[in-house]
Structure 1
Amino acid sequence: MKLIKWSSFLDVGVKSLVILIWVSFPNLRPHIFSPRILHAMDSMFVDNATSVGSRPSLVRVLMELDITKNFPDKI
């Protein structure tokens, strides 16, 4: 199975230049796990362990990456 960003112009016969990647943010402060902060991250998809706070050492979010552009050195 391959995840692809859907749009009204989606053609499954053409490879997408936008890929989905999981980005991890280790060692963030505990207040990041509050419902208010996680709700503010609503435009990003957070994994289940992040949303319920069961893994306080790491926040993981699903982000889109356009492979035609330069990769950022840091976030």
Structure 2
Amino acid sequence: MRPLKWEPWFNPEAEKTTALAWIYFPALSPNFFVKESLFTMEKEVGNPLHVDMATKKKSRPSSAKVKVEVDILRDFPKRNNVGIKKANSGEIIST
């Protein structure tokens, strides 16, 4: 079984190449727990849909989760490096 995004014109006979998946960010710095930041990072994997409730409420500070719609036929990145850009110099600091 593969979870799919609901569509009113769903045809169970047609094979889909997309699926829904939860992407997990372990040890993410709390300043990245904003929906816009998480969605920007998720665009590398697929189409971000929403964050889970614990991430939204910041009740699980050790990690964040985002639900994305992914094309299962494409190659996925193994790692997504995140950095902070300094306002005064433009230098990017890796976190």
Do the two structures share a fold, i.e. TM-score over 0.5? yes
**CA–CA separation in structure 2 for the residues paired with 1:67 and 1:2:** 11
Q: Pairwise CA RMSD of aligned residues? A: 2.3
* Pair 1:71-2:76 in alignment: yes
Give the distance between the partners of 2:5 and 2:78, measured in 1 at CA: 24
CA distance in 1, matches of 2:14, 2:49: 25
- Unpaired runs of 5+ residues, structure 2, are 40-47, 81-95
Q: TM-score, normalised by structure 2?
A: 0.58
* Stretches of structure 1 lacking an aligned partner (at least 5 in a row): none
Q: Residue deviations 1:10-52, cap 9 Å, x none?
A: 322223210111110011112223xxx22x24x5310110000
The residue number in structure 2 matching 1:45 is: 50
TM-score relative to the length of structure 1: 0.71
Residue equivalent to 1:13 = 13
CA contact (8 A) 2:50 2:68 kept: yes
Identity among equivalent positions (%) equals: 34
Contact 2:24 2:63 in 1 (8 A): yes
